[in-house]
Structures are given as C-alpha cells and as structure tokens.
Amino acid sequence: MSAMFNKVGVVGVGAMGRGIAQIAAQAGSQVLLMDTQPGAARSALESITGQWVRMEEKGKLTGTQRTELAARLQAVDGLQDLSACDLIIEAVVEDLAIKRELFGALEAVVRPDAALATNTSSLSVTAIGAALARPERFAGYHFFNPVPLMKVVEVVAGFRTERALCERLAAYAGQMGHAAVQAQDTPGFIVNHAGRGYGTEALRIVGEGVADFATVDRILKDQAGFRLGPFELLDLTAVDVSHPVMESIYRQYYEEPRFRPSVITAQRVAAGVYGRKTGEGFYRYVDGVAQVPDEPPAPQVGTVPPVWVSPRAARRAELLRLVHELGATIETGAAPSSAALILVAPLGFDVTTVAAVDRLDASRTVGIDMLVDDAATRRRVLAGNPATRRDMREAAHALFARDGKKVSVIRDSGGFVTQRVIATIVNIAADMCQQRICTPADLETAVRLGLGYPQGPLSMGDAFGPTNMLEVLFNLQTVYGDPRYRPSPWLRRRGALGLSLKHEED
C-alpha cells in the first residue's frame, strides 16, 4: 500500500523531528529533513539510519528493508527544497512568532494543495495558522516523545481546518503505526489537558501536609494501579518541562481553578532541581536509581480493642468482613462502647467532619479509604483526625497490617489520596467530553497511550462508580469550599441516569 503522503518534509530535526521522520519513512514516504542549524539535518539522517541498523541487529528489519528505508531519507539545505512535498510537518521550538514566520515562508514555496502541520504541544493551532492564505490546509499533528514508541498522535483542527485534511492525517498516522485521536483546538488538546488531574492534585495533597511525596506515589501505585506515582512521573518528564505546561494551560483557561499550578514545582524550577536529568527532584538519584525512603514498619500492639464500624461507612459489609477476617472483635450495637476503636469510611468527607456530624468520639475515630475493593489493592490507607489518640491510630494500623498488606497512615484530608486524585482525573475528563473537545473513545485512547494510565479516565470513573465520583466531588466541595471540585455536567447527568461515562448522546 502506498503512503497517504508520498513526499513529506520535516522541519526541525531535534528528538521529535527525528522520530517523526523515522516513522514517516517506515510508512513508505520519501522524507526530506531540513533544519536552520548547519549540519543538523545531516546529523539527524545519520541518527535515524543508526536506529535502523540497531533494529536490523535485533532482527526487527532485514538488510534489504534497512537499505530501502535509508534510500527514502534525504537531508536538504533550505525551505525551497521542500517545494514538491505533499505534507510538511514542523517540529521547531515552541514559540508562536517563530512558527508563524516559518509557515508563512513555507506557504510561499509549496503547492497550493500541499498540507502543512505543526507538532505544537501547547500553542493554539488557530493562532499559528491565522495569517496563512490557506488555513484550511493547516492542522495540528502532535506526536509524543519518543515518537516511535509513543503510539498516539493528536490530530488538531484549527478554526478553519478542513475536516478532510484531519481525516487524511489520521489515516496517515495509522500507516505510521500510530493511533490517531482527533481534538478541537483547545489548550492542552487531549493528553496534556486530561493529564492535569494526576500531578496537580497530588501536588495539592502534599502542599496541604497530608502525606509526603513517596507515600502519595506508593498509594496511587498500590491502590489505584498507576505504573508510576505522580512524583516519579514528574521527575521522569522533568519539572522544567511540566511546570510551564501547568502554567500555560492555567493561563489559557483564564485561571480555571481545576488547573491551578503549585508553588512546589515553581520552587524546584527556580532551584534547578528538575528530576532525573539533574540527579535530584522529588527524589535523589544515584546512578539513575531513585533513593526512596523506607516505609516505617507497622506498630506492635499488645491487644487490639473491639471495633465498631459506622453504619454509613462505604462498602460497610466488605469492611466488616475484612475486620472479622483480621481477627478483631466487632461491636454490633447502635453506638460504640467507651473502649471501641471507631472506624469510618467516608467518600469525600474528612474524618473530622464525619466524627463531628455523627457525634462520634473523635479521639477514638480512624478513617479507612474504601473507594477501591480491598481485594483489588495492594495497600490500605488510614487517616486519623487532629484528636485521634496515638494508641487508637496504632491499633488500627496494626490490625489492617495483620495479613501482610501494606498500610499507609496519612493526615486527615477530605477524600484521602486516591479519592481526590481519581475524582479529579474523572471530572476533568468528563468536562472535556462536555465541551466536545474530543469523543469519549478518543479520550480513552489518548490517555491510555499518551499517559500510560491503567485505563482510560472514563473507564476509571465507571469502574469506581459515577455516583461514588459525584459523592466524592460534592463532599470535597463542602470540605474545601473550592470550585475546582465542581462536578462536570457530563458526570452529573450520567451518574443520575446510571449511564456509563462513555455514553455518547445522539
């Protein structure tokens, strides 16, 4: 099958440009490499052909295939050499003025029917193409680094982009072995927009003194199944890259509270502490290995007091069964005895609020996060309140660690850690669907492939329960009085009707 675009130009041959050129050639296109830096295009060509040599050595290419691929790649000296291209993809620095000037110059040399595309990750596609004579032939084509391994590309329609061009670019992405997702031209497109919930909410949690970086990472990996914790991920992507994206999306959305950046990352940028690449970030790195502090052991207690479980606890039957299996004596009265450890399991509320509203003895009240089925997690999370006695907190910790499962004890917080982060991720995703930035299906694909989440955010919301997500958000609003927890209409309506969050309206 012939390539959708026979001759493709790539302008800007850094890591992104080289990756795009590699997969375009592998899709069957003739690829021309161009960069304003002297010798950069030739160096990029050598780098790409070196990748193909290594693929041959690993048995992923034959010698004949490698030779054919190398013949499709050519370094050129100037924009005029790109005049015969069917498609030109720009991958230069993220500067609006530079990109606009480049595309103006390109439009002057290419054929009227040639397609132009920008790999921008943060700038408005409409703004870049606004001065073009043929903006309908211009679109966003956002790849992720490293391009050959990150199998998703965002196809972004500017205000005047022809739909047919987006469809051709999406089909071409498929030829390159990538899944194409189509997005409207909004700040962050799909992946960077949807990704605001994970790290940003985790930063708020640490900023409130609820838990430290390592504890938050452990909870979200062990309870919710994320491959990397938010602070491991920020260290990997580098804070000097991630923080400006946070600020950019926050400003472009006119200071929408959901996207508010954190002073924690701002301080690290100012200090030059970026993550793995500087040897220090949220963790220190020795020979590339994060130095993660050891977890404190579970306390040793002589006798666990009898346990009384609140009638309003989430997953109460499951919690009662768990407490019984761990060997505790369960009180079944309408109220706890004066010696009982009182367990609550709120969704969204903090332990303090539950103890006060239900008139429980706060000094003996401990909360447990029961959003997730206990059998499906590798960690339990407990929280006391400012009045909880040490002996009661330690008794609860010892009890829930009896079967060897890890236990984290955090400070009191509305929504614990997992509830807050998951509800924020789901709510932002639901709002993206409400705005029709993309289809629910494309959102799911983009997040799984672009962010590496264990499942798409809408599937996540369905798995934990849309009504549970709503309860968490409504109660977080009460606890914090912050509009960032305002539930999206998409989530409210589907939750009220018992529909999947992926349900599309006709």
Question: Which residues are marked as active site?
Answer: 121, 142, 154, 192
Which two structure tokens, joined as six digits, stand for 105? 């110059």
Rounded-to-integer distance, Cα 389 and Cα 374, Å: 25
Q: Is 319 exposed, middle or buried (0-12, 13-18, 19+ CB in 10 A)?
A: buried
Rounded-to-integer distance, Cα 494 and Cα 487, Å: 12
Give the closest residue to 424 by CA, choosing from 475, 484, 381: 484
Angle between helices 230-237 and 213-222 (to 10 degrees): 110
* HEC per residue, 180-216: EEEEECCCCCCHHHHCHHHHHHHHHHHHCCCCCHHHH
Give the phi and the psi of residue 118 in degrees, each rounded to 5. -110, 140
The answer for 388, left when phi > 0, alpha when psi is -120 to 50, beta otherwise, is beta
Rounded-to-integer distance, Cα 46 and Cα 277, Å: 25
Rounded-to-integer distance, Cα 411 and Cα 387, Å: 11
